[in-house]
Structure 1
Amino acid sequence: MTVLTTPHLNFRGQARDALSFYQSAFGGDLTVVTYTDAHNVTADDEADQVMWGQVESPQGLRVMAYDVPSHTPWEPGVDPAFVSVRGTDTAELTAYWEKLSDGASVVVPLGPAGWAPLYGMLRDKFGVTWVLDLAVTWDAS
Protein backbone atom coordinates (compact mmCIF):
# COMPACT_ATOMS: atom_id res chain seq x y z
CA MET A 1 0.00 0.00 0.00
CA THR A 2 1.08 3.55 -0.66
CA VAL A 3 0.42 6.04 2.12
CA LEU A 4 0.22 9.75 1.42
CA THR A 5 0.35 12.53 3.97
CA THR A 6 -1.35 15.74 2.98
CA PRO A 7 -1.84 19.12 4.66
CA HIS A 8 -5.55 19.39 5.54
CA LEU A 9 -6.48 23.05 6.08
CA ASN A 10 -9.50 24.14 8.09
CA PHE A 11 -11.68 27.13 7.19
CA ARG A 12 -15.12 28.44 7.99
CA GLY A 13 -16.89 29.19 4.73
CA GLN A 14 -13.73 29.92 2.72
CA ALA A 15 -12.48 26.45 1.75
CA ARG A 16 -13.78 26.59 -1.84
CA ASP A 17 -12.17 29.99 -2.44
CA ALA A 18 -8.91 28.84 -0.85
CA LEU A 19 -8.78 25.65 -2.92
CA SER A 20 -9.55 27.57 -6.12
CA PHE A 21 -6.74 29.97 -5.26
CA TYR A 22 -4.31 27.10 -4.64
CA GLN A 23 -5.36 25.50 -7.93
CA SER A 24 -4.65 28.78 -9.74
CA ALA A 25 -1.22 28.92 -8.11
CA PHE A 26 -0.17 25.29 -8.57
CA GLY A 27 -2.41 23.99 -11.38
CA GLY A 28 -3.85 20.51 -11.27
CA ASP A 29 -7.21 19.04 -10.45
CA LEU A 30 -9.70 20.48 -8.00
CA THR A 31 -12.19 18.18 -6.28
CA VAL A 32 -14.91 19.55 -4.03
CA VAL A 33 -17.46 17.51 -2.08
CA THR A 34 -20.11 19.58 -0.31
CA TYR A 35 -22.01 18.60 2.82
CA THR A 36 -25.01 18.04 0.52
CA ASP A 37 -22.99 15.74 -1.75
CA ALA A 38 -21.94 13.64 1.26
CA HIS A 39 -25.45 13.59 2.78
CA ASN A 40 -24.07 15.17 5.94
CA VAL A 41 -25.87 18.53 6.20
CA THR A 42 -26.16 19.74 9.79
CA ALA A 43 -27.10 23.36 9.00
CA ASP A 44 -29.09 24.32 5.90
CA ASP A 45 -27.06 27.50 5.31
CA GLU A 46 -23.86 25.41 5.18
CA ALA A 47 -25.14 22.70 2.81
CA ASP A 48 -23.02 23.91 -0.12
CA GLN A 49 -19.88 24.44 1.91
CA VAL A 50 -16.91 22.12 1.45
CA MET A 51 -16.92 18.94 3.51
CA TRP A 52 -13.88 17.63 1.65
CA GLY A 53 -11.83 19.29 -1.03
CA GLN A 54 -8.47 18.75 -2.62
CA VAL A 55 -6.09 20.22 -5.15
CA GLU A 56 -3.64 17.77 -6.68
CA SER A 57 -1.05 19.09 -9.12
CA PRO A 58 0.77 17.07 -11.78
CA GLN A 59 4.02 17.81 -9.90
CA GLY A 60 2.72 15.99 -6.82
CA LEU A 61 1.57 18.88 -4.63
CA ARG A 62 -1.58 18.05 -2.68
CA VAL A 63 -3.55 20.16 -0.26
CA MET A 64 -6.91 19.32 1.29
CA ALA A 65 -9.39 21.67 2.94
CA TYR A 66 -12.82 21.81 4.48
CA ASP A 67 -15.27 24.22 6.07
CA VAL A 68 -15.59 23.58 9.79
CA PRO A 69 -19.34 23.42 10.50
CA SER A 70 -20.78 26.10 12.79
CA HIS A 71 -21.71 23.55 15.47
CA THR A 72 -18.00 22.73 15.88
CA PRO A 73 -15.86 25.17 17.87
CA TRP A 74 -13.08 26.64 15.76
CA GLU A 75 -10.80 29.64 15.92
CA PRO A 76 -8.48 30.53 13.05
CA GLY A 77 -4.92 29.72 14.02
CA VAL A 78 -5.94 27.47 16.93
CA ASP A 79 -6.71 24.32 14.92
CA PRO A 80 -5.66 25.35 11.39
CA ALA A 81 -4.59 21.97 10.03
CA PHE A 82 -4.95 18.20 10.29
CA VAL A 83 -2.48 15.53 9.21
CA SER A 84 -4.34 13.42 6.66
CA VAL A 85 -3.21 9.85 6.03
CA ARG A 86 -4.90 8.32 2.99
CA GLY A 87 -4.24 4.76 2.01
CA THR A 88 -5.58 1.86 -0.01
CA ASP A 89 -5.35 -0.96 2.52
CA THR A 90 -7.94 -1.19 5.31
CA ALA A 91 -5.80 -3.42 7.52
CA GLU A 92 -2.78 -1.12 7.33
CA LEU A 93 -4.84 2.00 8.06
CA THR A 94 -6.53 0.23 10.97
CA ALA A 95 -3.12 -0.72 12.39
CA TYR A 96 -1.98 2.92 12.18
CA TRP A 97 -5.22 3.97 13.89
CA GLU A 98 -4.73 1.52 16.73
CA LYS A 99 -1.18 2.76 17.36
CA LEU A 100 -2.10 6.45 17.13
CA SER A 101 -5.05 5.86 19.50
CA ASP A 102 -2.70 5.24 22.44
CA GLY A 103 -3.48 8.14 24.78
CA ALA A 104 -5.55 9.88 22.10
CA SER A 105 -8.96 11.49 22.18
CA VAL A 106 -11.14 10.02 19.43
CA VAL A 107 -13.06 12.73 17.58
CA VAL A 108 -14.72 10.43 15.01
CA PRO A 109 -14.41 6.66 15.52
CA LEU A 110 -12.79 4.72 12.69
CA GLY A 111 -15.53 3.26 10.51
CA PRO A 112 -17.62 3.76 7.39
CA ALA A 113 -18.66 7.30 6.43
CA GLY A 114 -20.93 8.69 3.72
CA TRP A 115 -17.91 9.71 1.64
CA ALA A 116 -15.46 6.89 2.34
CA PRO A 117 -15.66 3.21 3.31
CA LEU A 118 -13.25 3.90 6.21
CA TYR A 119 -12.72 7.21 8.00
CA GLY A 120 -11.66 8.32 11.46
CA MET A 121 -10.31 11.36 13.28
CA LEU A 122 -8.41 11.55 16.54
CA ARG A 123 -6.32 14.04 18.51
CA ASP A 124 -3.17 12.30 19.67
CA LYS A 125 -1.59 12.65 23.09
CA PHE A 126 0.51 15.52 21.72
CA GLY A 127 -2.53 17.50 20.52
CA VAL A 128 -2.07 16.73 16.81
CA THR A 129 -5.28 15.95 14.92
CA TRP A 130 -5.00 12.98 12.56
CA VAL A 131 -7.50 12.00 9.86
CA LEU A 132 -7.18 8.50 8.43
CA ASP A 133 -9.25 7.36 5.47
CA LEU A 134 -9.42 4.81 2.72
CA ALA A 135 -8.69 6.55 -0.57
CA VAL A 136 -11.51 6.15 -3.07
CA THR A 137 -12.45 8.00 -6.22
CA TRP A 138 -15.31 10.39 -5.51
CA ASP A 139 -18.42 9.60 -7.55
CA ALA A 140 -20.51 12.77 -7.66
CA SER A 141 -23.54 11.00 -9.13
Structure 2
Amino acid sequence: MSIQTTSHLNFHGEARAALEFYQSVFGGQLVIATYGDFGMPADAPGATNVVFGQVESDGGFRVMAYDIPGQPDIPGGPDRSEGADTAGSTRRENGVTLTDQSFFLSVRGETLKEVMGYWATLSVGGAIVEPLAASAWSPGFGMLTDRFGVTWILDVAAPRTA
Protein backbone atom coordinates (compact mmCIF):
# COMPACT_ATOMS: atom_id res chain seq x y z
CA MET A 1 0.00 0.00 0.00
CA SER A 2 1.22 3.50 -0.74
CA ILE A 3 -0.25 6.92 -0.18
CA GLN A 4 0.46 10.33 -1.61
CA THR A 5 -0.08 13.66 0.10
CA THR A 6 -0.87 16.85 -1.78
CA SER A 7 -1.03 20.35 -0.37
CA HIS A 8 -4.46 21.93 -0.91
CA LEU A 9 -4.50 25.73 -0.79
CA ASN A 10 -7.57 27.85 -0.07
CA PHE A 11 -8.05 31.23 -1.71
CA HIS A 12 -10.59 34.06 -1.90
CA GLY A 13 -11.00 34.42 -5.66
CA GLU A 14 -7.28 34.05 -6.48
CA ALA A 15 -7.01 30.27 -6.99
CA ARG A 16 -6.85 30.46 -10.79
CA ALA A 17 -4.13 33.13 -10.77
CA ALA A 18 -2.16 31.24 -8.11
CA LEU A 19 -2.36 27.91 -9.96
CA GLU A 20 -1.35 29.53 -13.25
CA PHE A 21 1.58 31.17 -11.45
CA TYR A 22 2.69 27.87 -9.88
CA GLN A 23 2.47 26.18 -13.28
CA SER A 24 4.73 28.91 -14.69
CA VAL A 25 7.25 28.21 -11.92
CA PHE A 26 7.21 24.40 -11.79
CA GLY A 27 5.74 23.40 -15.16
CA GLY A 28 3.29 20.54 -15.44
CA GLN A 29 -0.35 20.12 -16.27
CA LEU A 30 -2.95 22.58 -15.04
CA VAL A 31 -6.53 21.45 -14.39
CA ILE A 32 -9.20 23.95 -13.39
CA ALA A 33 -12.93 23.43 -12.89
CA THR A 34 -15.21 26.27 -11.81
CA TYR A 35 -18.36 26.32 -9.74
CA GLY A 36 -20.17 27.12 -12.99
CA ASP A 37 -18.76 23.96 -14.57
CA PHE A 38 -20.53 22.02 -11.81
CA GLY A 39 -23.93 23.63 -12.26
CA MET A 40 -23.85 27.04 -10.61
CA PRO A 41 -25.71 29.51 -12.84
CA ALA A 42 -23.21 31.40 -14.99
CA ASP A 43 -24.47 34.78 -13.75
CA ALA A 44 -24.28 33.84 -10.06
CA PRO A 45 -21.55 35.50 -7.98
CA GLY A 46 -18.57 33.17 -7.76
CA ALA A 47 -19.55 31.01 -10.76
CA THR A 48 -16.13 31.56 -12.36
CA ASN A 49 -14.26 30.79 -9.14
CA VAL A 50 -12.27 27.56 -8.87
CA VAL A 51 -13.99 24.60 -7.20
CA PHE A 52 -11.17 22.22 -8.16
CA GLY A 53 -7.71 23.11 -9.38
CA GLN A 54 -4.44 21.29 -9.60
CA VAL A 55 -0.95 21.61 -11.01
CA GLU A 56 1.04 18.41 -11.37
CA SER A 57 4.45 18.02 -12.99
CA ASP A 58 6.34 14.95 -14.11
CA GLY A 59 9.13 16.05 -11.76
CA GLY A 60 6.99 15.46 -8.68
CA PHE A 61 5.50 18.88 -7.94
CA ARG A 62 1.81 18.80 -7.11
CA VAL A 63 -0.50 21.32 -5.49
CA MET A 64 -4.27 21.67 -5.40
CA ALA A 65 -6.32 24.80 -4.76
CA TYR A 66 -9.82 26.22 -4.74
CA ASP A 67 -11.72 29.38 -3.93
CA ILE A 68 -13.62 29.17 -0.65
CA PRO A 69 -17.33 29.23 -1.50
CA GLY A 70 -19.41 32.05 -0.14
CA GLN A 71 -16.34 34.11 0.69
CA PRO A 72 -16.06 37.50 -0.95
CA ASP A 73 -13.49 37.78 -3.71
CA ILE A 74 -10.53 39.75 -2.49
CA PRO A 75 -8.55 40.45 -5.65
CA GLY A 76 -4.93 40.62 -4.58
CA GLY A 77 -5.99 40.16 -0.97
CA PRO A 78 -4.27 42.55 1.36
CA ASP A 79 -1.93 44.91 -0.49
CA ARG A 80 0.00 42.38 -2.55
CA SER A 81 1.19 44.86 -5.11
CA GLU A 82 4.74 44.64 -6.39
CA GLY A 83 7.15 44.99 -3.50
CA ALA A 84 4.46 44.96 -0.81
CA ASP A 85 5.25 43.20 2.46
CA THR A 86 3.34 39.96 1.96
CA ALA A 87 5.25 37.96 4.58
CA GLY A 88 2.68 39.17 7.07
CA SER A 89 2.83 36.68 9.87
CA THR A 90 6.13 34.98 8.98
CA ARG A 91 9.43 36.67 9.73
CA ARG A 92 12.95 36.06 10.99
CA GLU A 93 13.90 37.61 14.30
CA ASN A 94 16.99 36.96 16.44
CA GLY A 95 17.92 33.93 14.34
CA VAL A 96 14.54 32.16 14.53
CA THR A 97 11.46 32.01 12.33
CA LEU A 98 8.34 33.44 13.95
CA THR A 99 4.95 32.69 12.40
CA ASP A 100 1.30 32.15 13.14
CA GLN A 101 0.76 30.19 9.91
CA SER A 102 -0.14 26.54 10.38
CA PHE A 103 2.00 25.29 7.46
CA PHE A 104 4.65 26.13 4.87
CA LEU A 105 5.16 24.49 1.49
CA SER A 106 8.58 22.92 1.04
CA VAL A 107 10.32 22.29 -2.27
CA ARG A 108 13.63 20.41 -2.36
CA GLY A 109 15.63 20.39 -5.57
CA GLU A 110 18.65 18.35 -6.58
CA THR A 111 20.90 21.27 -7.57
CA LEU A 112 21.41 24.85 -6.48
CA LYS A 113 20.81 26.01 -10.06
CA GLU A 114 17.38 24.31 -10.10
CA VAL A 115 16.36 25.81 -6.75
CA MET A 116 17.64 29.26 -7.74
CA GLY A 117 15.32 29.16 -10.77
CA TYR A 118 12.28 28.40 -8.62
CA TRP A 119 13.37 31.04 -6.11
CA ALA A 120 13.76 33.75 -8.75
CA THR A 121 10.23 33.22 -10.04
CA LEU A 122 8.40 32.54 -6.76
CA SER A 123 9.87 35.65 -5.12
CA VAL A 124 8.55 38.10 -7.75
CA GLY A 125 6.04 40.32 -5.96
CA GLY A 126 6.57 38.43 -2.71
CA ALA A 127 8.67 38.95 0.40
CA ILE A 128 11.91 37.25 1.37
CA VAL A 129 11.76 35.79 4.87
CA GLU A 130 15.27 34.31 4.75
CA PRO A 131 17.52 34.78 1.71
CA LEU A 132 18.55 31.73 -0.30
CA ALA A 133 22.07 30.82 0.84
CA ALA A 134 24.20 27.92 1.99
CA SER A 135 23.27 26.56 5.42
CA ALA A 136 24.65 23.99 7.84
CA TRP A 137 22.38 21.30 6.32
CA SER A 138 22.08 22.34 2.68
CA PRO A 139 24.05 23.91 -0.17
CA GLY A 140 21.08 26.29 -0.53
CA PHE A 141 18.19 27.12 1.82
CA GLY A 142 15.75 30.02 1.86
CA MET A 143 12.23 31.02 2.83
CA LEU A 144 9.84 33.41 1.12
CA THR A 145 6.19 34.34 1.04
CA ASP A 146 4.87 34.61 -2.52
CA ARG A 147 2.52 37.27 -3.85
CA PHE A 148 -0.48 35.06 -2.94
CA GLY A 149 0.51 34.87 0.73
CA VAL A 150 1.84 31.28 0.60
CA THR A 151 5.12 30.75 2.50
CA TRP A 152 7.65 28.46 0.82
CA ILE A 153 10.80 26.80 2.07
CA LEU A 154 13.20 26.01 -0.76
CA ASP A 155 16.36 24.01 -0.36
CA VAL A 156 18.87 21.82 -2.12
CA ALA A 157 19.14 18.17 -1.13
CA ALA A 158 22.36 17.63 0.79
CA PRO A 159 24.82 15.30 -0.92
CA ARG A 160 24.47 11.72 0.28
CA THR A 161 27.45 10.14 1.94
CA ALA A 162 28.19 6.46 1.80
- TM category (shorter chain) comes to 0.3 to 0.5
Higher normalized contact order (CA 8 Å, seq sep 6+, divided by chain length): 1
Q: When the two structures are superposed, what TM-score results if normalisation uses the length of structure 2?
A: 0.41
TM-score scaled by length of structure 1: 0.47
**Which structure features the higher share of strand residues?**
1
